Amino acid sequence: MNKKQVRRLVILWVACAVLLAAASAYSLLCNSGRWVQPMDLSRYVFSVKDLPMLAAGGCIALCAVYTAAAVIRAAFPAKRNGEPRYTRTVPPVFGWCGLLGFLGFGGFWSYQAQRGIFPFIFFIFFGFFGLFFEGKLSHTLRDEMFEANRRRAQLTAFKTGFALLFAVIWLVGMGMFSRNVEWCAIFMLIAVSLIYALVLFLSSYLLYRYEKEE
């Protein structure tokens, strides 16, 4: 992503922030703080005075979609005819982001304290350990051999993931945790998150193995 694109994104987000501040001020002064203060949406009735806040929210949502598209487009540049393609440059140190996966263990505390199981999804971040091996292949020429190895690595990773997912579904179908729906939900969320992380990790690790023939 070049400086011009970054500057454009910054301007868009500053404009959204200004619009949101103006809409919030209008709501507090002229609309009893609707959409600023907590609301019971089950009893919500549309009012014309709500339009500034709704418009601000819509602009922020559009800006978020545009930002995500810009980041993805920068991370995966389009192929140019006649020019060689190279893998993206990723510092291997980014692989340590996989340590964020340990946040998933906070789900056990969250479940005991608040009966919330959402933190278990953070186990997905273990897949970021694959960035270490992707970093070792930074700026590698994506020739036919590389693409063949990439497809081979992804196929092996997907096969492993599907095999583990089948085992998990089979265990649940055979009655594992059948007496407690919450435990079943926790088991499924943890299992699916870890399987997804494993697929991400294997895709990068196996590609590195195939490319380096180690």
Residues 106 and 200 in one domain: yes
Q: Evaluate if residue 76 carries a pLDDT over 70.
A: no
Q: What average pLDDT does range 124-133 have in this prediction? A: 91
Give φ, ψ of 97 to 5 degrees: -60, -20
Residues 69 and 104 in one domain: no
153-200 pLDDT, tens per residue? 999 999 999 999 999 888 887 877 777 778 888 888 899 999 999 999
Asked if 130 contacts 205 with a C-beta cutoff of 8 angstroms, the reply is yes
Residues 106 and 207 in one domain: yes
CA distance 147 to 150: 5
Which residue from 104, 142, 108 is spatially nearest to 126, judged by alpha carbons?
104
Q: Evaluate if residue 77 carries a pLDDT over 70.
A: no
Residues 121 and 70 in one domain: no
Residues 106 and 153 in one domain: yes
pLDDT grade for 88, boundaries at 50, 70 and 90: confident
Give me the helices (H) in the chain, please. Answer: 3-30, 51-75, 106-114, 130-136, 144-173, 181-212
Residues 24 and 116 in one domain: no
Lowest model confidence (mean pLDDT) among 92-96, 150-154, 179-183: 179-183
Which residue from 110, 137, 123, 108 is spatially nearest to 200, judged by alpha carbons?
123
Residues 143 and 194 in one domain: yes
Which range marks the domain in which residue 14 is found? 3-75
Query: Pick from 50, 75, 100: which residue ends a domain?
Result: 75
48-69 pLDDT, tens per residue? 888 888 888 888 888 888 888 8
Measured torsion, CA atoms of residues 177, 182, 188, 189, in degrees rounded to the nearest 10: -160
14-61 pLDDT, tens per residue? 888 888 888 888 888 888 888 777 777 677 787 888 888 888 888 888
Residues 45 and 115 in one domain: no
* Position 85 in a domain: no
User: Looking at the DSSP assignment, which residues form a beta bridge with residue 141?
Assistant: 86
Residues 96 and 71 in one domain: no
Residues 17 and 117 in one domain: no
DSSP string, 37-77: S---GGG----GGGHHHHHHHHHHHHHHHHHHHHHHHHHSP
Query: Pick from 43, 75, 107: which residue ends a domain?
Result: 75
